Structure 1
Amino acid sequence: MQPPGPPGGDVTRDLTGTPFPLGDWGEPAERLDELYRWVETNALRTAEWYLSDRVWKRRSARILRIGTAVGVIAGAALPLLDLTGVAEGTAGWGYLSLLLGAACMACDRYFGLTSGWIRDVATAQAVQRRLQALQFDWASESVREVLGPTEGTASEAAERCLGVLRRFSEDVTELVRAETADWMVEFRSGPAPLALQSVGVVPARAESSHPSGRFPLPPGTRPNMPRQRPPETR
């Protein structure tokens, strides 16, 4: 079971994945190699999707940040030139430039362009690091298979290989879920929206902050304690 190289050709840039490869397990080694290629291909597709998604976000964020910097500088310089008499009548243009700079900053924050491409890069790097760990784990299992009976039976070796592939797939899925939860948290204020709660989708930060599944009470509110019946007098 040797780890194959990266798949050639154009990789579909989406997160839909591919169907699970089903077939005859008459040759376990070939089936395990096929499963490894399927898992590796999905991981490479996920990493490439995030890297391609960050390109337009990064370009748009840079344009908006340049617009913010130019607007702030012009908004500060033109009124000063008007006061000193160097360029009279430019104070209005300065205020307009300052307003445009604030609008660029607001658009960047509202659409989450800067934070979005940073999250994309972080997620792609995390997937690549986990893929590298998988390749070393798979090489280790290949060495165990060569050693033969000293490392257990063939069924135990197959179970170990399947466990390595399953843990890797779960780790990649958790990375994507965590990135999606961060994106959801960025566009919400206060508790999670009711629409998300109704389908059981709660951002990760809310889950970690309140492990019991309850939301905090408003400030100044005392929790309601259940009433107890007074002891009966005999």
Structure 2
Amino acid sequence: VVGGVAPWGYLALLLGVACMAGDRFFGVTSGWIRDVATAQAVQRRLQVLQFDWASESVREVLGPADGTASEAAERCLGVLRRFSEDVTELVRTETADWMVEFRTGAAPLGIQSAGTVGQRTDSGASPGRFPLPPGAGARPNMPRQRPPEPR
């Protein structure tokens, strides 16, 4: 009975090693971790928006002590603008990081570890199979939708 179980054990071990190698090569777990981290970051920003919006709503209920209705509307629009710009920057950064990781391809098992996928090294390059072209490690230059608000 013991002799008949051993081949199945070795097959299960081989299958486990193959799954780990495939995960490391294709970056499934690191992609999932980045997805969860980005979703949590968006959730935190949404909570800040809800708090700021509630603060502005309370300010409106308490009365016009803080200025005119147009100033109140401007403050509310400022809250929405900050949220929109924050989430847009988060998405832009994550997309740029993903594009760099996608261009470099999957790294061999000896170079890549689950904790360093998509992170930059001290030299500014991302770990991967192929070197990045000059200037690819820099932030992409994306135009703003409108000039920044004077503060």
TM-score range (shorter-chain normalised) is 0.5 to 0.7
Counterpart residue number, 2:149 = none
1:139 to 54, 63, 72: 54
Unaligned 5+ segments in structure 2 are 105-127, 140-151
Counterpart residue number, 2:80 = 165
* 1:31-110 correspondence to structure 2 within 5 Å: 101-110=16-25
Residues 73-117 of structure 1: CA distance to partner in whole angstroms, max 9, x if unpaired? xxxxxxxxxxxxx96xx89x96x8776555433321232110011
Aligned-residue sequence identity (percent) comes to 77
How far apart in 2 are the matches of 1:139 and 1:97?
55
Residues 173-206 of structure 1: CA distance to partner in whole angstroms, max 9, x if unpaired? 22222222332333314225x9xx8xxxx5xxx2
2:61 counterpart letter in structure 1: V
How high is the TM-score relative to the length of structure 2?
Answer: 0.58
Unaligned 5+ segments in structure 1 are 1-85, 209-234
Higher mean C-alpha displacement, 143-152 vs 177-186 = 177-186
2:87 counterpart letter in structure 1: V
Determine if the alignment matches structure 1 residue 128 to structure 2 residue 61: no
Distance 1:182 1:109, change over 3 A: farther
Q: Secondary structure at the match of 2:138?
A: helix
Q: How many residues of Structure 1 are paired with residues of Structure 2 in the alignment?
A: 109
2:132 counterpart letter in structure 1: P
Determine if the alignment matches structure 1 residue 207 to structure 2 residue 138: yes
Query: Could you say which structure has the larger radius of gyration?
Result: 1
How far 1:157 sits from its partner (Å)?
Answer: 0.8
CA RMSD of aligned residues (A): 3.0
How far 1:171 sits from its partner (Å)?
Answer: 1.2
Counterpart residue number, 1:178 = 93
